Amino acid sequence: MADHPEDATFRRFASLNLQNILYLQAEIVGLEKDLRKLEADSDASNDCDRRHFSFDWYTLAHTHDQPASGQQWEKWMQLRRVLREHNDAVSQYCQISKIPDPEPHELRKFQSWLAEPRLGGVYLLGRDHDTWAQGVDLMSLSPSLHPNRISRFITNKALPVCHSVVNTMNRLRQTLVRTNHSAPAAQQDAEIVTYEYSRLVSASSLICTIIASLLPILAIVVLYFVENQSSRLGLVGLFSVAFSSALWFMNDGELVEVFSATSAFAAVQVVFIGTSNST
């Protein structure tokens, strides 16, 4: 995990954390009811000091010679300890809930590594050996940060498919070579192929740049060769939809940004149509 931070995946224990919060909540509710009863008894007491417990903290905390005072103060101190534990548990769960899930392809890679006896299958032999097998209730401490949907698509979809195709072709080629030479099949060592994340991000950025450059040029060229006015207006709408879709897919932009950029793109096309008509 130190060499491959994306594999730093652990159990979230969401159900246990929530169960712990529920138990603390139930304990607090019980203590609160006990405390309210003691407070009501103190308010209705004939003792002048006890009647001041609800208004004077010092009297409540320092009147130890009265059993009722000590009982009420001890109940409050017990409630304070449990309340602090409850608040800490809630804060910790909120922080844990914000930790993202592992990327699907990274989790599959890690599961394959753990399942392979020649790799990670020999390290976890205890009761926790199947922690990652189901792939649920997990969190990734060092997830891959994808700048846009193109990067996520390349990493999660395109790259695994390409790797599978290349791997299948290599195995087929090795099988043909062994068949032609009548050599016994050699045992292949299991291996994990690692792709440099920065190169994947660079590839996605290059693709986004190319698309962003081609769309305006393509729109102008097509509008230049189309003379029918109705067809031109239809193409303006078509290119605007394509531009906004590409912007949403590539940049993860806010809707306001998508609307602004699409409006500017449509305005450029309209200006071009007006200019070409006047000439």
Reading the block at residue 106, the tokens are 């990274």
Pick from 264, 266, 236, 261: nearest CA to 247: 261
Higher pLDDT, 224 or 148: 224
- Tell me the mean pLDDT in the region 63-69: 61
- Tell me the mean pLDDT in the region 179-187: 47
Mean pLDDT score across all residues of the chain: 78
Is residue 68 within 8 Å of 46, Cβ to Cβ? no
Reading the block at residue 181, the tokens are 């030479």
CA dist list (Å): 235 to 41, 219, 223, 227: 81, 8, 7, 11
Residues 216-254 have pLDDT tens digits of 888 888 888 888 888 888 888 898 888 888 877 776 656
How is 21-34 classified by DSSP, letter by letter?
HHHHHHHHHHHHHH
**Whole-number Å distance between alpha carbons of 166 and 136:** 30
DSSP state of 155: I
**Whole-number Å distance between alpha carbons of 51 and 41:** 9
Task: Report residue 35 CA to chain centroid gap.
Answer: 42
Residue 80: what pLDDT? 93
Q: Is the pLDDT of residue 190 over 50?
A: no
Residue 185: what pLDDT? 42
Alpha helices in the chain, H assignment, sequence order: 14-43, 48-51, 57-62, 67-98, 104-115, 149-153, 159-181, 197-225, 229-251, 255-278
Residue 197: what pLDDT? 66
Query: What pTM, to 2 d.p., does this model score?
Result: 0.61
Q: Is the pLDDT of residue 189 over 60?
A: no
Residue 205: what pLDDT? 79
Which of 114-118, 189-193, 222-226, 229-233 is predicted with the least confidence, judged by mean pLDDT? Answer: 189-193
Q: Is the pLDDT of residue 96 over 90?
A: yes
Residues 121-142 have pLDDT tens digits of 556 677 877 788 888 889 988 7
